[in-house]
Amino acid sequence: MAYRVKAAVFYRPHEPLAVEELELEAPRQGEVLVRVAACGVCHSDLHFMEGLVPIASPSVLGHEAAGVVEAVGHGVESVRPGDHVVLSFIPACGRCPYCAVGRPNLCTVANRAMSRGTMLDGTPRFAKEGRPVYQMGAIGGFATRTVVPEAGCVKIREDMPLDRAALLGCGVMTGVGAAINTARVQAGSDVAVVGCGGVGLNVVQGAALAGAGRIIAVDVLPHKLELARQFGATHAVDASREDPVAAVRQIAAGGVDYAFEVIGRPETIRQAFDMTRRGGLTVVVGVAPAGAEVSLPAGAFLTEKTITGSAYGGARMSVDVPRLVELYLAGRLKLDQLISRRYPLEGINDAFDALRRGEVARSIVAM
């Protein structure tokens, strides 16, 4: 059986998304049909729309979604119709060498599906007049319904509001996870976060949850710095007015223990490295445009600095998402304050314009 759905489709860079009807195939073995409740608008979607990162086309964008299971394919055991789920854009296989060593965010099988925009078998479930339409992150969340791998579904409590749960699927997991899982920020340590957008604000709140001492927010927009304070930043540096490296080094004598880059630009990656103190850790969350390179001062390695990437906040989704839900319901994780605006699916291009102009922390598309 095929379903008719409404979805926002990417055809080529520098063009608005087309909101149109698509066919959606029923879930195959090991797959799940989900009615999407909400999908967050992330800068990574915009990277594709701006042609900075290649993606299969046509493609339904959206990788920060939550919804309700409507049907399951053969062999699906972990969820059933009616379950509330957060979707993961890395549906880890559980068997590859990365999964086996406890690093499911690096899963070979899931990352291949993610970069192709397909299910784990290499094909997408959306189609337009019989021709395949790909699914960003094996999700394609800007749609009224989608089909995802069972491993991409994380069941959550039904009293968790689905629009806020959607944010756990990317921005919150990527940001909080970078602080807690990747960096393992120590209580009392000094942290700098370069770029306080939807993901960076979550690095700030992850550092606060971990008990960091100074948390220095760096951005070029004063209202982002103001938001960062609400998420736990103790200091703010406006990089459009002063040299962020000198400012951070002055606030945290000689630099911070952990500096996070959450934009995806070679210059800001270098700034994050330079504001990291001797023996400290630089964590790169942002992904720079294809082909970009970063240069680092070779002498700095004598100071035992470490630089690492962080993919999906080092997520182990089945463990981390329920934990984040509990923190939210206990009033310890800020999600309501992240949602600056809500749009209907038809308004999705306005949501991307607002993100481009830096007006929002996060917008969500509510189906």
Helix (H, G, I), strand (E, B) or coil at 47: helix
Name which of 44, 39, 47, 36 is nearest 13 in CA terms: 47
Q: Is 55 in the site for Zn ion (CB under 5 A)?
A: no
Distance CA 311, CA 153 (A): 18
Q: Which of residues 292-351 bind ligand COD (CB under 6 A)?
A: none
Distance CA 61, CA 218 (A): 29
Q: Is 183 in the site for ligand COD (CB under 6 A)?
A: no
Distance CA 236, CA 227 (A): 10
Q: Is 264 in the site for ligand COD (CB under 6 A)?
A: yes
What angle, rounded to 10 degrees, do the helices at 244-251 and 266-274 form?
A: 20
Binding mask 182-211 for Zn ion (x = CB under 5 A): ------------------------------
Q: Is 71 in the site for Zn ion (CB under 5 A)?
A: no
Binding mask 155-174 for ligand COD (x = CB under 6 A): ---------------x---x
Structure tokens belonging to residue 64? 């920060």
Helix (H) or strand (E) holding 216, with range, is strand 215-219
Our CB check for ligand COD shows the closer of 263 and 348 to be 263
**Active site amino acids:** 42, 44, 47, 63, 170
Binding mask 228-247 for ligand COD (x = CB under 6 A): -----------x--------
Q: Is 59 in the site for ligand COD (CB under 6 A)?
A: no
Q: Which entry of Zn ion, ligand COD, none binds 194, CB below 5 to 8 A by partner kind?
A: ligand COD
| Choice from 93, 166, 218, 364 touching ligand COD (CB under 6 A) | 218
Residues 6+ apart with CB under 8 A from 115: none
Q: Which entry of Zn ion, ligand COD, none binds 219, CB below 5 to 8 A by partner kind?
A: ligand COD
| Choice from 27, 140, 149, 198 touching ligand COD (CB under 6 A) | 198
* Residue 180 and residue 116 in contact, taking contact as beta carbons nearer than 8 Å: no
Name which of 108, 101, 167, 170 is nearest 310 in CA terms: 170
Enter the DSSP assignment of 231.
T
Structure tokens belonging to residue 296? 């680092």
Shortest reach from residue 210's CB to ligand COD, in Å = 19
Q: Which of residues 10-49 bind Zn ion (CB under 5 A)?
A: 42, 44
Distance CA 250, CA 116 (A): 45
Distance CA 170, CA 40 (A): 8
Q: Which entry of ligand COD, Zn ion, none binds 358, CB below 5 to 8 A by partner kind?
A: ligand COD
Q: Is 287 in the site for ligand COD (CB under 6 A)?
A: yes
Residues that bind ligand COD (CB under 6 A): 42-44, 47, 170, 174, 194-200, 218-221, 224, 239, 262-264, 268, 285-287, 355, 358
